[in-house]
Amino acid sequence: MLFSIHKKKPIVVIFDEFQDILNLQDFKEVLAILRSKIQFHSSLPYIFSGSVRNKMHDIFNNPESPFFKPAIPVNVGILNPRDFVIFLKNKFKFGKRTITDDSINKIFSIADNIPGDIQQLCAAIWETTSYKEKISEKNMN
């Protein structure tokens, strides 16, 4: 494992929304250069994540792609809403805030059930509420 010089903590390189590299005019050349550099980092882990599965699949499974088969794919399934609700309630509880089921349902509705948007809305609610506060729909207006 490669360690940073200053903190002696492991380093991991993460590319989020990696499929967006395909939007570059010379994306094949960019991918080839990136691959040529990465192959010399045998002790440095890289994570390539993306939300457009067919584009990610093409980058790593198309024989014409410079990134053909160098990675182990991990497909993340659909987030279970019930598990997500429990997670969110526990986070609010950890911060000594209470939130009702109606408020959670309102958050999901406002965010159109999009997990990232739900998290952003919850973060905003967190920032605008206080320790031991009961979160209600008034916090979402």
Domain total in the chain = 2
Are 56 and 21 members of one domain? yes
Phi-psi region of 9 (alpha: psi -120 to 50; beta: other; left: phi over 0): beta
Residue 18: DSSP 8-state: G
Query: Angle 115-127/81-94 helices, nearest 10 degrees?
Result: 20
Confidence of residue 3 (pLDDT cuts 50, 70, 90): low
Are 26 and 86 members of one domain? no
Are 56 and 11 members of one domain? yes
Are 64 and 16 members of one domain? yes
Are 4 and 55 members of one domain? yes
Are 86 and 109 members of one domain? yes
Q: What is the pLDDT of residues 102-111, one digit of tens each?
A: 999 999 999 9
Are 87 and 113 members of one domain? yes
- CB < 8 Å & 24+ apart, contacts of 31-34: 31/59, 31/65, 31/66, 31/67, 32/66, 34/66, 34/67
Are 65 and 86 members of one domain? no
Are 73 and 89 members of one domain? no
Q: What is the pLDDT of residues 54-95, one digit of tens each?
A: 999 999 999 999 988 878 888 777 788 899 999 999 999 998
At 139 the pLDDT is 67
At 44 the pLDDT is 87
Q: For the whole model, what pTM was predicted?
A: 0.60
Residue, of 28 and 136, whose pLDDT is higher: 28
Are 89 and 122 members of one domain? yes
- β-pairing verdict for 98-99 and 134-135: parallel
Give the mean pLDDT of the chain.
87
At 17 the pLDDT is 94
Number of H-type helices and E-type strands within the chain: 5, 4
Domain termination site, one of 77, 104, 121: 77
Are 24 and 68 members of one domain? yes
Domain hosting 36: range is 1-77
For the chain, give the percent of residues with pLDDT over 70. 93
At 135 the pLDDT is 87
At 74 the pLDDT is 84
Partners of residue 98 on adjacent β-strands: 134
